[in-house]
Amino acid sequence: MTSEPGKQNLLIFGTTGYIGTHITNQIIKNKASFGRIAIFTSPSTVENKPSVVANLKSEGVEVIVGDATNENDILKAFQGINTIISAVGRNAILSQITWIQLADTSPNSTVTRFFPSEFGTDIEYGPSSATEKPHQLKLKVRATLRAAKRLEHTFLVTGPYAEAVLRPGSFDVKAKKAALTGDGQGKISLTTKDDVGRLTVHALLHPAASKNRALRVNSFTATEAEILAEFERQTGGEKWTVERTSFEKLRELEKEAWESGNPAATGYTLRRIWVEGGTLYEVRDNALIGGEETESLSDAVGVAVKSQLAE
């Protein structure tokens, strides 16, 4: 794909990952609004996911193959690029610091805008956010971007992905069983994975509104009790069996998981943040970027029901 005057040239990291797939798909759906669309991926991804790579190329996406830890490969990929979107997983988040520094200080870099791997819980929601263990790597990335001299940044804060909350472990369609926290009345802000992609596109196309700020966006806000009621409605109206975990028990499980090195520790912490209200704001930023049209609770539950019954 060749660049077009006046249009952003994009480079995406983490394209084939959990959320990167959805971001890339939505960018492709709006490819007429952009110039070059390129992805940076590893040789192993090209080898192991040939059909995915072939589909991207068929859509006009430029596939750049290299080592994300090799500065020469990164600088070469940056050539002619204006905007970087990173959707890498937790293990690669620190690599973003190197990419940011290279984009900001290399004399031949054309990169002027960076979207780091946020797309989740707000890591600066309040004073206690700075001490939350899952936030530490992303806080380092934010600090690096704020210290950059040439780069603009946008932190897209979406709250938890709806699909992660509506999963079988919490809402089991086949068993008609739900696991709620406390009385289930705590509100949680949720964003579907497709809406994460759509809202990323909206932010890309509204650079003035998203310049050097955290955009707090979502699809919908609901309590666990409201989510359960929607599952019951869409599965015939029968009441589900409910198991409840108290807030005290959740904190106990979280503490034990971190102390024992249990990989589930991050999940416990994030769940506790969500049900404590750590995703709620008086005002959402969807309207600032033209992203008011989003999927609803009914839409998200419908997808979850269909998916679980198909498994």
Phi, psi of 5 (to 5 degrees): -55, 135
3-state DSSP call for residue 198? helix
Distance, CA of 284 to CA of 202 (rounded, Å): 14
Strand 152-157 versus strand 213-216 pairing type: parallel
For residue 13, give the nearest of 23, 2, 1, 26 by alpha carbon.
23
Residues annotated as part of the active site? 138
Residue partners of 175: CB distance under 8 A and separation at least 6: 241
Residue partners of 115: CB distance under 8 A and separation at least 6: 83, 84, 85, 86, 153, 154, 155, 156, 200, 203, 204
Task: List the alpha helices (DSSP H) in the chain.
Answer: 20-29, 43-48, 50-58, 71-78, 95-105, 136-147, 162-165, 193-204, 207-210, 224-234, 247-260, 265-275, 297-310
Tell me the two tokens of residue 101: 């520094």
Distance, CA of 266 to CA of 263 (rounded, Å): 7
Give how far Cα 236 sits from Cα of 23, 230, 240, 260, Å: 34, 10, 11, 42
For residue 295, give the nearest of 199, 192, 163 by alpha carbon.
192
Tell me the two tokens of residue 284: 């959402």
Q: For 161, which DSSP code? A: B
